[in-house]
Amino acid sequence: GAVVSQHPSRVICKSGTSVKIECRSLDFQATTMFWYRQFPKQSLMLMATSNEGSKATYEQGVEKDKFLINHASLTLSTLTVTSAHPEDSSFYICSARPSSGGGTSPLHFGNGTRLTVT
């Protein structure tokens, strides 16, 4: 089945530093990838849609200058949390859908990245 690899799985950083999270589709190409954030006891919140070769589309309330997204190839998207603060501590999850699957194919999720900002 479709596999999405996300790295790192856990990161602790100091306030003010930047953290990069990678999301790779291992056995399929993904024109589009999605980045979600999940706070404890809450559901997934879509942050942005990452589009290969073009700018990401951000959801309302998500700062594009703080959460930098790069989708340089059909198998890799990165999310960089810049100048991280404790309130950015959360569970970040990427997902992707095979480009060949059409609009009805399911999303496959990475294993998530637990970010803790001290």
- Choice between 22 and 82, CB closer to another protein: 22
Query: What is the closest distance, in whole angstroms, from the C-beta atom of residue 46 to another protein in the complex?
Result: 6
101 Cβ contact partners less than 8 Å away, ≥ 6 residues apart: none
Nearer to another protein, 76 or 109 (CB): 109
Instruction: Decide whether 13 or 46 has the Cβ nearer to another protein.
Output: 46
Q: Please give the Cα distance from 73 to 10 (Å, whole number).
A: 24
Would you call 84 helix, strand, or coil by DSSP? coil
If the CB atoms of residues 57 and 82 are measured against another protein, the closer one turns out to be: 57
List interacting residues with another protein (CB under 8 A).
6, 31-32, 34, 42-44, 46, 49, 51, 57, 91, 93, 99, 102-104, 106-112, 114
Q: Which of 98, 99, 81 shows the shortest CA–CA distance to 90?
A: 81
Give me the least distance between CB of 106 and another protein, in Å please. Answer: 5
- Minimum distance between the CB of residue 16 and another protein, rounded to whole angstroms? 26
Please, what is the minimum distance in Å from the beta carbon of residue 63 to another protein? 19
Contact residues for 92 (Cβ-Cβ < 8 A; gap 6+): 21, 35, 36, 37, 38, 79, 81, 112, 113, 115
| CB contact at 8 A, 16 and 37 | no
